[in-house]
Amino acid sequence: MLARSLGIRDLALGAAGVLALRERDREWLRRSFAAQAVADAVDFVMLAAGRDVPLASRLVWGTLAADSAAVAAAYARQVLRFGGAPLDTGS
């Protein structure tokens, strides 16, 4: 059940990012990446603190959550940095 809910959350945040790209809305795109970064950072904290979860699972899933949070935060900063430039979607 938890994996399904996390998947739905990630799907919703990803869809928000795709819609933002389609609309060429930089602020919406930045917020989508920022929301993903926060959600993954919370996942990391909860996994690190969860003593009920086996150590191997905490290491694997914690690493994935931390990496995902870092990448999403970097993208949010990148969008903010180039805020005035036109959004190129390659089409």
Per-residue tokens: 86: 């036109």
Nearest residue to 37 (alpha-carbon basis) of 5, 63, 78, 66:
66
- Which single residue is written with the structure tokens 């959350």? 9
Q: What percent of the chain has pLDDT over 90?
A: 35
Tokens of residue 39, six digits: 């959600």
Q: Given this model, what pLDDT does residue 36 score?
A: 93
pLDDT at 37 over 70: yes
Share of the chain above pLDDT 70, in %: 85
Q: What is the mean pLDDT of residues 2-20?
A: 83
**pLDDT of residue 88 exceeding 80:** no
Would you state the pLDDT for residue 53?
A: 85
Angle at 90 between CA 83 and CA 82, to 5 degrees: 10
Helix, strand or coil, per DSSP, at residue 29 = helix
Mean pLDDT of 19-28: 90
